[in-house]
Amino acid sequence: MALRTNYQSDKFQGKRKWEVISNNDGTVSLIDVTIYETEGDIFNADDINSTNSQINANTSELLKANTTIESNKAALTTTIESNKAALTTTIESNKAALTQLRTITLTVSGWSSSAPYTQTISIIGMTASDSPTVGILYPASLTETQKANIDKGSNMITKLETISGGLRVICQFRKPTVDIILGLKGV
């Protein structure tokens, strides 16, 4: 509802002028005899009722909007907390995967028979896009000769490829003659 916004005040010079008239019942009446440059508008009961009705309607709409905002705010807070909990779980799970050490053994008998020599090891959860950190692990009862042979064999590895469900190890020219234990982090 559009309320009127073009009310005008009376415009005149000096003071208002009134003529007093005696009525037959002993009372008097006042008649405005002011000379007006512009006669202003009267703000009456209809005007204030319209204004108050519009204010009430606007207030009602604001209260409804505020209720909707509060409801949406509560739902959003719940969603944020739920997502935060899920994210925390994912982070903890990924953190565990990043810090967990998985070991695999490349056996002498596991290499293919011709160059390039390959060996594929199954690793549950490995994907082709994984990039684990790989290191050589030595047995607990290691001798100097064993270490030298393991180092020599691990230097024959020319490529590691992550594949869905495992790791492919490639020796382009020669295959190792000792078992090699690899430690993987980030899988």
- Whole-model pTM: value is 0.51
pLDDT digits (tens, 9 = 90+) for 44-58: 898 889 889 888 988
Nearest to 110 by CA among 44, 176, 174, 64: 176
Out of 61, 95, 129, a domain closes at: 95
- Please report, for residues 57, 84, 99, 185, the alpha-carbon distance to residue 87 in angstroms, rounded to integers and kept in the order given: 44, 5, 18, 21
Q: How far is CA 94 from the centre of its chain?
A: 19
pLDDT digits (tens, 9 = 90+) for 120-160: 999 988 999 999 999 999 999 999 999 999 999 999 999 99
Instruction: Enter the tokens of residue 123.
Output: 């690793």
Out of 69, 95, 121, a domain closes at: 95
Residues 75 and 138 in one domain: no
The DSSP secondary-structure symbol of 109 reads: G
